[in-house]
Amino acid sequence: MFIHDDLQQRWWDLEAKILQRFGKKPDVEAVLFLIGMQETGFIQDKITKEQKQDLIHVAVCTILCTSGYFALKGNDVDGWPHFKQIKELPIMSLPEQENFLKDHILLYFEEQGF
């Protein structure tokens, strides 16, 4: 119970920082999108749905590298990172998946000094 409470409080703290910085309260998908943009440097006025999905994919792979689920293989000619899956992700319910991602997102921002 305490672990979940701590996770939730840390998530609310991150949401507050992002709200203060960008003026919008983010959901998990929005935070992953921001991480993808940070990792790729990809910034455009108009982003297609496919590009958004690609950025979120980069973010998920990036945040899960710290736990050994993925490893960076390198960047393609356009500078986009490519990853190799190292181990299978655990089978989880949807709420467990969300908490798993939130925990890794928080670790990412902690490592970035945010």
First to last CA, the chain: 26
- The residue ranges of every structural domain in the chain are 2-111
* Model pLDDT, residue 44: 84
The strand pairing partners of 74, in sequence order, are 82
C-beta atoms surrounding 64 within 10 Å: 21
Take residue 114 and report the two structure tokens written for it: 């945010």
pLDDT in tens, 49-103: 999 999 999 999 999 999 999 999 999 998 899 999 999 999 999 999 999 999 9
Alpha carbon distance 89, 94 (integer Å): 13
- For residue 41, the SS3 value is coil
The strand pairing partners of 70, in sequence order, are 85
